[in-house]
Amino acid sequence: GQQLNQSPQSMFIQEGEDVSMNCTSSSIFNTWLWYKQDPGEGPVLLIALYKAGELTSNGRLTAQFGITRKDSFLNISASIPSDVGIYFCAVPNSGGSNYKLTFGKGTLLTVNP
């Protein structure tokens, strides 16, 4: 089945630093989604990307849909302690069903105040 390679697996940064993470695949997708999961809670949709090359911002977060449609990037600027959590990328399953998503394994972000 399709797989997403999400990196890095974890990051330890100082408050105020910028963060970059990415997801890659060998398959082409028409949608890339980025979720954040706070500790002990359900994932929350941060940004949805529907067009190759698209660059979308949500506050300090910026995500890009790679021009090859095989990758996506999420950047966080000027990190703050509440940015702590697990960030997941996700894409709709290929092969006929849009009902399911494939998730990356997540990037665990720790921000030191």
Beta strands in the chain (DSSP E): 5-7, 10-14, 19-24, 32-37, 44-49, 55-58, 61-65, 71-76, 85-92, 101-103, 107-112
Cβ proximity to another protein: between 77 and 92 the closer is 92
Binding residue for another protein, selected from 28, 44, 55, 67, defined by CB under 8 A: 44
* Total of residues contacting another protein (CB under 8 A): 23
Task: Report if residue 34 touches another protein, rule: CB under 8 A.
Answer: no
Among 21, 88, 89, 109, binds another protein (CB under 8 A): 88
Using CB under 8 A, which residues numbered 12 to 31 contact another protein?
Answer: 31
Q: Is the bond preceding residue 8 a cis peptide, omega within 30 degrees?
A: yes
57 to 86, contacts with another protein by CB under 8 A?
86
Shortest distance in whole angstroms from residue 113 CB to another protein: 21
Nearest to 106 by CA among 91, 90, 88, 92: 88
